[in-house]
Structure 1
Amino acid sequence: MSKFLIVGLGNIGQEYAHTRHNIGFDVVDAFAQKHGGVFRTDRLAEVAEVKWKGKIFVCIKPTTYMNLSGKAFRYWMDKEKIPMEQTLTIVDDLALPINKLRLRGGGSDAGHNGLKDIQAMLGTDKYPKLRFGIGNQYPKGMQIEFVLGKWFPEEVETVNKKILACTGIIEQFAQIGVEKTASQVNNLDFSK
Protein backbone atom coordinates (compact mmCIF):
# COMPACT_ATOMS: atom_id res chain seq x y z
CA MET A 1 0.00 0.00 0.00
CA SER A 2 1.53 3.30 -0.95
CA LYS A 3 1.62 5.96 1.72
CA PHE A 4 1.24 9.71 1.47
CA LEU A 5 1.96 12.44 3.98
CA ILE A 6 -0.56 15.29 3.82
CA VAL A 7 0.67 18.31 5.75
CA GLY A 8 -1.68 21.19 6.53
CA LEU A 9 0.10 24.30 7.74
CA GLY A 10 -1.35 26.47 10.48
CA ASN A 11 -1.05 27.56 14.09
CA ILE A 12 -2.56 25.78 17.06
CA GLY A 13 -4.92 27.62 19.39
CA GLN A 14 -8.49 28.85 19.19
CA GLU A 15 -7.44 32.40 18.25
CA TYR A 16 -6.02 31.08 14.96
CA ALA A 17 -8.87 28.73 14.07
CA HIS A 18 -10.31 29.33 10.58
CA THR A 19 -8.03 32.26 9.81
CA ARG A 20 -6.37 32.69 6.40
CA HIS A 21 -3.03 31.46 7.76
CA ASN A 22 -4.71 28.26 9.02
CA ILE A 23 -6.27 27.19 5.73
CA GLY A 24 -3.88 24.21 5.62
CA PHE A 25 -5.47 22.90 8.83
CA ASP A 26 -8.97 23.44 7.42
CA VAL A 27 -8.18 21.55 4.21
CA VAL A 28 -6.61 18.60 6.05
CA ASP A 29 -9.59 18.54 8.45
CA ALA A 30 -11.99 18.41 5.50
CA PHE A 31 -10.00 15.65 3.80
CA ALA A 32 -9.84 13.50 6.96
CA GLN A 33 -13.54 14.09 7.65
CA LYS A 34 -14.50 13.09 4.09
CA HIS A 35 -12.75 9.74 4.62
CA GLY A 36 -13.78 9.12 8.23
CA GLY A 37 -10.39 9.94 9.73
CA VAL A 38 -10.16 11.15 13.32
CA PHE A 39 -7.30 13.28 14.61
CA ARG A 40 -5.34 12.28 17.68
CA THR A 41 -2.63 14.23 19.45
CA ASP A 42 0.74 12.66 18.77
CA ARG A 43 4.38 13.72 18.58
CA LEU A 44 4.70 17.28 17.16
CA ALA A 45 1.30 17.09 15.43
CA GLU A 46 -2.36 16.21 15.39
CA VAL A 47 -2.47 13.08 13.24
CA ALA A 48 -5.21 11.23 11.36
CA GLU A 49 -4.72 8.20 9.14
CA VAL A 50 -7.16 7.49 6.33
CA LYS A 51 -7.31 4.74 3.74
CA TRP A 52 -8.69 5.34 0.27
CA LYS A 53 -8.46 3.20 -2.87
CA GLY A 54 -5.56 1.13 -1.58
CA LYS A 55 -3.60 4.14 -0.36
CA ILE A 56 -2.81 5.34 3.14
CA PHE A 57 -2.83 9.04 3.91
CA VAL A 58 -1.07 10.20 7.05
CA CYS A 59 -2.60 13.64 7.63
CA ILE A 60 -0.84 15.98 10.01
CA LYS A 61 -1.47 19.39 11.52
CA PRO A 62 1.83 20.39 13.18
CA THR A 63 1.50 21.55 16.79
CA THR A 64 4.89 23.27 16.59
CA TYR A 65 3.46 26.62 15.41
CA MET A 66 3.99 27.74 11.83
CA ASN A 67 7.65 28.77 12.10
CA LEU A 68 8.74 25.27 13.16
CA SER A 69 6.55 23.27 10.75
CA GLY A 70 9.61 21.52 9.30
CA LYS A 71 10.21 19.68 12.56
CA ALA A 72 6.83 17.90 12.42
CA PHE A 73 7.05 17.38 8.64
CA ARG A 74 10.49 15.73 8.90
CA TYR A 75 9.57 13.60 11.92
CA TRP A 76 6.45 12.11 10.31
CA MET A 77 8.02 11.70 6.87
CA ASP A 78 10.88 9.71 8.44
CA LYS A 79 8.71 7.81 10.92
CA GLU A 80 6.27 6.66 8.23
CA LYS A 81 9.06 6.15 5.63
CA ILE A 82 7.27 8.30 3.06
CA PRO A 83 9.29 9.54 0.06
CA MET A 84 9.40 13.31 -0.36
CA GLU A 85 7.51 13.21 -3.67
CA GLN A 86 4.60 11.51 -1.85
CA THR A 87 4.17 14.41 0.54
CA LEU A 88 1.79 17.28 -0.08
CA THR A 89 1.93 20.52 1.90
CA ILE A 90 -1.16 22.75 1.93
CA VAL A 91 -0.37 26.39 2.56
CA ASP A 92 -1.90 29.88 2.35
CA ASP A 93 -0.49 32.13 -0.39
CA LEU A 94 -0.73 35.94 -0.47
CA ALA A 95 0.55 36.15 -4.04
CA LEU A 96 -2.41 34.17 -5.39
CA PRO A 97 -5.87 35.69 -5.71
CA ILE A 98 -8.70 34.29 -3.59
CA ASN A 99 -10.19 32.40 -6.57
CA LYS A 100 -7.02 30.39 -7.32
CA LEU A 101 -5.18 27.26 -6.24
CA ARG A 102 -1.72 26.30 -7.46
CA LEU A 103 -0.16 22.86 -7.31
CA ARG A 104 3.54 22.41 -8.01
CA GLY A 105 6.15 19.72 -7.47
CA GLY A 106 8.60 22.25 -6.02
CA GLY A 107 9.21 25.97 -5.71
CA SER A 108 10.44 28.62 -3.33
CA ASP A 109 9.05 29.41 0.11
CA ALA A 110 7.89 32.81 -1.24
CA GLY A 111 8.58 34.34 2.16
CA HIS A 112 6.24 31.94 3.99
CA ASN A 113 7.74 31.02 7.37
CA GLY A 114 6.21 27.54 7.47
CA LEU A 115 7.64 26.65 4.06
CA LYS A 116 10.94 28.30 4.97
CA ASP A 117 11.32 25.96 7.94
CA ILE A 118 10.33 22.85 5.96
CA GLN A 119 12.85 23.77 3.26
CA ALA A 120 15.56 24.25 5.88
CA MET A 121 14.77 20.85 7.45
CA LEU A 122 14.69 19.03 4.09
CA GLY A 123 17.56 20.92 2.50
CA THR A 124 15.52 21.40 -0.69
CA ASP A 125 12.43 23.16 -2.06
CA LYS A 126 11.64 20.20 -4.33
CA TYR A 127 8.62 18.89 -2.46
CA PRO A 128 4.98 19.19 -3.63
CA LYS A 129 2.92 22.14 -2.43
CA LEU A 130 -0.72 23.06 -2.87
CA ARG A 131 -0.96 26.82 -2.51
CA PHE A 132 -4.33 28.20 -1.47
CA GLY A 133 -4.74 31.77 -2.72
CA ILE A 134 -5.83 34.16 0.03
CA GLY A 135 -5.43 37.36 -2.01
CA ASN A 136 -3.79 40.49 -0.70
CA GLN A 137 -6.67 42.85 0.05
CA TYR A 138 -5.07 44.65 2.96
CA PRO A 139 -3.96 48.24 3.62
CA LYS A 140 -0.23 48.96 3.58
CA GLY A 141 1.49 47.72 6.71
CA MET A 142 -1.41 45.43 7.68
CA GLN A 143 -0.18 42.15 6.17
CA ILE A 144 0.16 40.27 9.48
CA GLU A 145 -3.32 41.30 10.64
CA PHE A 146 -4.73 40.26 7.26
CA VAL A 147 -3.01 36.86 7.20
CA LEU A 148 -4.00 36.09 10.80
CA GLY A 149 -7.52 37.44 10.25
CA LYS A 150 -10.78 35.70 9.39
CA TRP A 151 -12.18 35.54 5.85
CA PHE A 152 -14.32 38.44 4.65
CA PRO A 153 -18.02 37.45 4.41
CA GLU A 154 -17.92 37.80 0.61
CA GLU A 155 -14.98 35.33 0.44
CA VAL A 156 -16.55 32.50 2.43
CA GLU A 157 -18.41 30.85 -0.46
CA THR A 158 -15.27 30.76 -2.64
CA VAL A 159 -13.14 29.51 0.26
CA ASN A 160 -15.57 26.67 1.01
CA LYS A 161 -15.67 25.74 -2.68
CA LYS A 162 -11.86 25.63 -2.73
CA ILE A 163 -11.62 23.55 0.46
CA LEU A 164 -13.95 20.98 -1.10
CA ALA A 165 -11.92 21.05 -4.34
CA CYS A 166 -8.71 20.50 -2.34
CA THR A 167 -10.03 17.22 -0.90
CA GLY A 168 -10.40 15.94 -4.46
CA ILE A 169 -7.02 17.35 -5.49
CA ILE A 170 -5.32 15.38 -2.70
CA GLU A 171 -6.94 12.19 -4.03
CA GLN A 172 -5.94 12.99 -7.62
CA PHE A 173 -2.38 13.81 -6.54
CA ALA A 174 -2.14 10.33 -4.98
CA GLN A 175 -3.62 8.66 -8.07
CA ILE A 176 -2.10 10.44 -11.06
CA GLY A 177 0.80 12.43 -9.61
CA VAL A 178 1.64 16.09 -9.21
CA GLU A 179 2.17 17.09 -12.87
CA LYS A 180 -1.09 15.69 -14.27
CA THR A 181 -3.10 16.97 -11.32
CA ALA A 182 -1.50 20.43 -11.60
CA SER A 183 -2.45 20.67 -15.27
CA GLN A 184 -6.10 20.19 -14.28
CA VAL A 185 -6.04 22.48 -11.25
CA ASN A 186 -3.84 25.49 -11.89
CA ASN A 187 -6.13 27.21 -14.41
CA LEU A 188 -9.38 26.79 -12.48
CA ASP A 189 -11.25 29.88 -11.35
CA PHE A 190 -13.22 29.26 -8.17
CA SER A 191 -15.12 32.55 -8.22
CA LYS A 192 -17.47 31.23 -10.92
Structure 2
Amino acid sequence: MYIIAGLGNPGRQYAHTRHNVGFDTIDVLAEKYNIKVEYEKGRALTGSGRIEGQSVLLVKPLTFMNLSGESIRALADFYKIDGTSQLIVIYDDISLPPGQLRIREKGSAGGHNGIKSIISHLGGQEFLRIKVGVGEKPAGWDLADYVLSRFSQEERQKVEEALKRAADAAVCLMTDGVEAAMNEYNRKVSE
Protein backbone atom coordinates (compact mmCIF):
# COMPACT_ATOMS: atom_id res chain seq x y z
CA MET A 1 0.00 0.00 0.00
CA TYR A 2 1.05 3.55 -0.74
CA ILE A 3 0.05 6.74 1.03
CA ILE A 4 -0.03 9.68 -1.37
CA ALA A 5 -0.30 12.85 0.70
CA GLY A 6 -0.88 16.27 -0.79
CA LEU A 7 -0.03 19.15 1.53
CA GLY A 8 -2.16 22.24 1.97
CA ASN A 9 -4.35 24.12 4.39
CA PRO A 10 -7.97 23.15 5.03
CA GLY A 11 -10.69 25.74 4.49
CA ARG A 12 -12.27 27.40 1.50
CA GLN A 13 -10.18 30.58 1.94
CA TYR A 14 -7.02 28.56 1.11
CA ALA A 15 -8.43 26.65 -1.87
CA HIS A 16 -6.27 26.86 -5.00
CA THR A 17 -3.57 29.00 -3.37
CA ARG A 18 0.11 28.35 -4.07
CA HIS A 19 0.44 26.50 -0.75
CA ASN A 20 -2.39 24.13 -1.69
CA VAL A 21 -1.04 22.58 -4.89
CA GLY A 22 -0.65 19.31 -2.94
CA PHE A 23 -4.38 19.25 -2.19
CA ASP A 24 -5.11 20.14 -5.82
CA THR A 25 -2.98 17.23 -7.07
CA ILE A 26 -4.84 14.82 -4.77
CA ASP A 27 -8.07 16.11 -6.34
CA VAL A 28 -6.69 15.31 -9.82
CA LEU A 29 -5.78 11.76 -8.74
CA ALA A 30 -9.13 11.27 -7.00
CA GLU A 31 -11.07 12.34 -10.07
CA LYS A 32 -8.95 10.36 -12.54
CA TYR A 33 -9.15 7.12 -10.53
CA ASN A 34 -12.65 7.62 -9.09
CA ILE A 35 -11.55 7.69 -5.43
CA LYS A 36 -13.70 9.65 -2.99
CA VAL A 37 -11.50 11.65 -0.60
CA GLU A 38 -14.10 12.35 2.06
CA TYR A 39 -13.40 10.12 5.06
CA GLU A 40 -11.81 11.61 8.18
CA LYS A 41 -9.03 9.49 9.60
CA GLY A 42 -5.75 10.41 11.28
CA ARG A 43 -6.66 14.11 11.26
CA ALA A 44 -6.93 14.03 7.47
CA LEU A 45 -9.44 13.67 4.67
CA THR A 46 -8.69 10.30 3.10
CA GLY A 47 -9.87 8.07 0.32
CA SER A 48 -8.73 4.54 -0.47
CA GLY A 49 -8.73 2.77 -3.79
CA ARG A 50 -6.56 1.23 -6.46
CA ILE A 51 -4.34 3.00 -8.96
CA GLU A 52 -2.71 0.91 -11.70
CA GLY A 53 -3.01 -2.21 -9.55
CA GLN A 54 -1.59 -0.56 -6.42
CA SER A 55 -3.58 -0.12 -3.22
CA VAL A 56 -3.45 3.57 -2.26
CA LEU A 57 -4.66 5.97 0.38
CA LEU A 58 -5.05 9.53 -0.88
CA VAL A 59 -4.53 12.01 1.96
CA LYS A 60 -5.19 15.72 2.60
CA PRO A 61 -4.06 16.55 6.17
CA LEU A 62 -6.54 18.71 8.10
CA THR A 63 -3.87 19.84 10.57
CA PHE A 64 -2.80 22.95 8.63
CA MET A 65 0.52 22.96 6.80
CA ASN A 66 2.86 23.48 9.76
CA LEU A 67 1.53 20.37 11.54
CA SER A 68 1.29 18.03 8.53
CA GLY A 69 3.66 15.56 10.15
CA GLU A 70 1.17 14.75 12.92
CA SER A 71 -1.38 13.49 10.41
CA ILE A 72 1.13 11.73 8.14
CA ARG A 73 2.76 9.92 11.09
CA ALA A 74 -0.60 8.77 12.49
CA LEU A 75 -1.62 7.32 9.12
CA ALA A 76 1.80 5.75 8.44
CA ASP A 77 1.66 4.05 11.85
CA PHE A 78 -1.95 2.91 11.42
CA TYR A 79 -1.33 1.37 7.99
CA LYS A 80 2.17 0.15 8.95
CA ILE A 81 3.79 1.53 5.82
CA ASP A 82 7.49 2.06 5.24
CA GLY A 83 7.87 5.84 5.07
CA THR A 84 10.98 5.60 2.89
CA SER A 85 9.32 3.67 0.05
CA GLN A 86 5.52 3.74 0.51
CA LEU A 87 4.91 7.41 1.25
CA ILE A 88 4.70 10.04 -1.52
CA VAL A 89 4.34 13.67 -0.43
CA ILE A 90 3.26 16.36 -2.93
CA TYR A 91 3.81 20.02 -2.06
CA ASP A 92 4.63 23.53 -3.28
CA ASP A 93 8.16 24.78 -3.93
CA ILE A 94 8.95 28.48 -4.33
CA SER A 95 12.40 27.76 -5.76
CA LEU A 96 10.86 26.28 -8.92
CA PRO A 97 9.05 28.28 -11.60
CA PRO A 98 5.27 27.76 -11.89
CA GLY A 99 4.57 24.44 -13.55
CA GLN A 100 8.00 22.86 -13.02
CA LEU A 101 8.20 19.56 -11.08
CA ARG A 102 11.04 18.07 -9.07
CA ILE A 103 11.03 14.54 -7.70
CA ARG A 104 13.33 13.62 -4.82
CA GLU A 105 13.88 10.54 -2.64
CA LYS A 106 15.13 12.51 0.34
CA GLY A 107 16.44 15.86 1.45
CA SER A 108 16.07 18.69 3.89
CA ALA A 109 12.90 20.70 4.40
CA GLY A 110 14.37 23.59 2.42
CA GLY A 111 12.45 26.04 4.59
CA HIS A 112 9.07 24.36 3.94
CA ASN A 113 7.28 24.07 7.28
CA GLY A 114 5.04 21.18 6.18
CA ILE A 115 8.08 19.12 5.19
CA LYS A 116 9.89 20.19 8.36
CA SER A 117 6.95 18.80 10.37
CA ILE A 118 6.95 15.50 8.44
CA ILE A 119 10.72 15.05 8.87
CA SER A 120 10.35 15.72 12.59
CA HIS A 121 7.47 13.28 13.07
CA LEU A 122 8.89 10.51 10.87
CA GLY A 123 12.36 10.93 12.36
CA GLY A 124 14.13 11.15 9.01
CA GLN A 125 14.42 12.87 5.65
CA GLU A 126 13.99 9.79 3.46
CA PHE A 127 10.57 9.79 1.84
CA LEU A 128 9.46 10.27 -1.75
CA ARG A 129 8.44 13.81 -2.71
CA ILE A 130 7.02 15.61 -5.66
CA LYS A 131 7.65 19.34 -5.56
CA VAL A 132 5.37 21.52 -7.67
CA GLY A 133 6.83 24.87 -8.65
CA VAL A 134 4.78 27.89 -7.60
CA GLY A 135 7.31 30.60 -8.45
CA GLU A 136 9.70 32.73 -6.49
CA LYS A 137 8.44 35.24 -3.94
CA PRO A 138 8.55 38.74 -5.43
CA ALA A 139 10.79 41.29 -3.71
CA GLY A 140 8.99 43.09 -0.90
CA TRP A 141 6.42 40.32 -0.36
CA ASP A 142 6.02 38.49 2.93
CA LEU A 143 6.58 34.75 2.33
CA ALA A 144 3.37 33.71 4.13
CA ASP A 145 1.32 36.21 2.12
CA TYR A 146 2.92 34.96 -1.10
CA VAL A 147 2.31 31.22 -0.59
CA LEU A 148 -1.27 31.95 0.48
CA SER A 149 -1.89 34.01 -2.67
CA ARG A 150 -3.56 32.76 -5.81
CA PHE A 151 -1.94 32.29 -9.20
CA SER A 152 -2.26 34.76 -12.04
CA GLN A 153 -4.30 33.50 -14.98
CA GLU A 154 -1.13 32.79 -16.98
CA GLU A 155 0.50 30.96 -14.04
CA ARG A 156 -2.69 29.01 -13.37
CA GLN A 157 -2.60 27.47 -16.85
CA LYS A 158 0.96 26.21 -16.25
CA VAL A 159 0.04 24.97 -12.80
CA GLU A 160 -3.07 23.11 -14.03
CA GLU A 161 -0.81 21.17 -16.41
CA ALA A 162 1.72 20.64 -13.63
CA LEU A 163 -0.98 19.19 -11.35
CA LYS A 164 -1.81 16.57 -13.99
CA ARG A 165 1.89 15.81 -14.45
CA ALA A 166 2.39 15.61 -10.65
CA ALA A 167 -0.49 13.11 -10.46
CA ASP A 168 1.10 11.08 -13.27
CA ALA A 169 4.49 11.32 -11.52
CA ALA A 170 2.99 9.81 -8.35
CA VAL A 171 1.66 6.90 -10.41
CA CYS A 172 5.05 6.52 -12.12
CA LEU A 173 6.81 6.42 -8.73
CA MET A 174 4.59 3.50 -7.70
CA THR A 175 4.69 1.55 -10.96
CA ASP A 176 8.10 2.29 -12.50
CA GLY A 177 10.25 3.44 -9.58
CA VAL A 178 12.13 6.56 -8.54
CA GLU A 179 14.73 6.66 -11.28
CA ALA A 180 12.19 6.38 -14.09
CA ALA A 181 9.99 9.04 -12.48
CA MET A 182 12.92 11.42 -12.02
CA ASN A 183 14.07 10.92 -15.62
CA GLU A 184 10.58 11.61 -16.95
CA TYR A 185 9.36 14.43 -14.71
CA ASN A 186 12.44 16.38 -13.56
CA ARG A 187 13.01 17.73 -17.06
CA LYS A 188 12.62 21.47 -17.47
CA VAL A 189 9.25 22.51 -18.85
CA SER A 190 9.43 25.06 -21.65
CA GLU A 191 8.23 28.51 -20.61
* TM-aligned CA deviation for residue 137 of structure 1: 4.5
2:25 to 24, 27, 33: 27
Q: 1:99 to 1:43 in 2, by over 3 A?
A: closer
* Structure 1 match to 2:4: 6
**Structure 1, residues 137-178: CA drift from partner, whole Å, max 9, x if none?**
423243221110011111111111111111211111101111
Matched residue SS, 2:177:
helix
What are the equivalent positions in structure 2 for 1:80-119 lying under 5 Å apart? 80-84=79-83, 85-119=85-119
Q: Size of the alignment, in residue pairs?
A: 189
Amino acid at match of 2:48: E
Gaps in structure 2 of 5+ consecutive residues: none
**Structure 1, residues 100-122: CA drift from partner, whole Å, max 9, x if none?**
10001001100000000000011
* Structure 2 match to 1:78: 77
Gaps in structure 1 of 5+ consecutive residues: none
Matched residue SS, 2:99:
coil
Matched residue SS, 2:63:
coil
TM-score, scaled to structure 1: 0.94
CA contact 2:103–2:130 (8 Å) conserved in 1: yes
CA contact 1:95–1:133 (8 Å) conserved in 2: yes
CA contact 2:104–2:182 (8 Å) conserved in 1: yes
TM-score, scaled to structure 2: 0.95
Q: 1:100 to 1:138 in 2, by over 3 A?
A: same
Amino acid at match of 1:112: H
C-alpha separation in 1, matches of 2:179 and 2:68: 25
Q: 1:120 to 1:137 in 2, by over 3 A?
A: closer
CA contact 1:105–1:179 (8 Å) conserved in 2: no
C-alpha separation in 1, matches of 2:190 and 2:98: 8
Q: What is the alpha-carbon root mean square deviation over aligned residues?
A: 1.2
Matched residue SS, 2:2:
strand
What are the equivalent positions in structure 2 for 1:57-72 lying under 5 Å apart? 57-72=56-71
Q: 1:154 to 1:6 in 2, by over 3 A?
A: same
C-alpha separation in 1, matches of 2:153 and 2:96: 19
Matched residue SS, 2:176:
helix
* TM-aligned CA deviation for residue 190 of structure 1: 5.4
Matched residue SS, 1:38:
coil
CA contact 2:52–2:171 (8 Å) conserved in 1: no
* TM-aligned CA deviation for residue 180 of structure 1: 1.8
**Structure 1, residues 18-46: CA drift from partner, whole Å, max 9, x if none?**
10001100001110111000012223000
Amino acid at match of 1:31: L
What are the equivalent positions in structure 2 for 1:1-192 lying under 5 Å apart? 3-39=1-37, 40-84=39-83, 85-189=85-189, 191=191
CA contact 1:161–1:190 (8 Å) conserved in 2: no
C-alpha separation in 2, matches of 1:137 and 1:75: 32
Matched residue SS, 2:57:
strand
